[in-house]
Amino acid sequence: MTNDDETRLIAAARRGESRAFAALVDRTQQKVRGFLRRYIGDWGDADDLSQEAFVVAWSRLDRFEGRSSFASWVCGVGYRLARDARRTRDRAMVRDAEWLEASEVPDAAPIEDRMALAKAMAALPDDQRAAVALCLGEGFSHSEAATVLGLPLGTVKSHVTRGRERVLRALETGE
């Protein structure tokens, strides 16, 4: 594509002609995708970021000053998006690692006990099983569980009490 062709397409795209922008995308997307694939190393993520870069370019086309080619400008947009995504991912990984270190992981129960508990839980009615899982398994308060399940508070309390009794009975009798 010549500079004149690119200039005409950009001017038309700025006037809102989506076909002109589509032509720009068609002529430059391989360069942008190729750059991001090499930079990121993951083709799927690179393709997603490439697409996002063109969406951003469309919304910010008025900021394109023409000091470089359109492809170079979109590659810059893609680079900044990829860099920001990498920073976000890295921060999340650090945050998750810190959370795991701070979490107390209880010793796992023997497999037989876990299987018996799973069987006992499966025997409970759905609402009762959900209330027991939320309150006793995940530490939710009764009122939080009531909100999650869309049930009255008293019903959740009853479900937890009855469900706990049924599970304990099943575990004691080995059913």
Q: How far apart are CA 73 and CA 54, in angstroms?
A: 10
For residues 60 and 127, membership in a common domain is answered with no
Q: How far apart are CA 163 and CA 105, in angstroms?
A: 25
Contacts of 122 (CB under 8 A, 6+ apart): 129
Read off the pLDDT of residues 40-71 as tens digits, 9 standing for 90 and up. Answer: 888 999 999 999 999 999 999 999 998 889 99
Residue 105: the pLDDT is: 55
Last residue of a domain, one of 75, 102, 129: 102
Which region among 35-44, 111-120, 141-150 has the lowest average model confidence (pLDDT)?
111-120
- Check pLDDT > 70 for residue 174: no
Residue 175: the pLDDT is: 59
Q: Which of 56, 51, 71 is nearest to 9 (CA)?
A: 71
For residues 92 and 29, membership in a common domain is answered with yes
For residues 69 and 12, membership in a common domain is answered with yes
For residues 122 and 97, membership in a common domain is answered with no
Q: What is the CATH number of the domain that holds 169?
A: 1.10.10.10
Report the length, in residues, of the chain.
Answer: 175
- Check pLDDT > 60 for residue 102: yes
Q: At residue 116, what is the residue type?
A: A
- Check pLDDT > 90 for residue 37: yes
User: What total number of domains does the chain contain?
Assistant: 2
- Cα–Cα distances (Å) from 123 to 113, 117, 119, 148, in that order, read 15, 10, 6, 21
For residues 19 and 80, membership in a common domain is answered with yes
Residue 22: the pLDDT is: 96
For residues 79 and 13, membership in a common domain is answered with yes
For residues 90 and 167, membership in a common domain is answered with no
Q: Which of 129, 110, 120, 118 is nearest to 169 (CA)?
A: 120
- Check pLDDT > 90 for residue 110: no
For residues 17 and 73, membership in a common domain is answered with yes
For residues 141 and 168, membership in a common domain is answered with yes
Domain that holds residue 141: 111-173
For residues 28 and 83, membership in a common domain is answered with yes
Instruction: Return phi, psi of residue 124, to 5°.
Output: -75, 150
The percent of residues above 70 in pLDDT, for the chain, comes to 95
For residues 14 and 97, membership in a common domain is answered with yes
Q: What is the CATH number of the domain that holds 51?
A: 1.10.1740.10
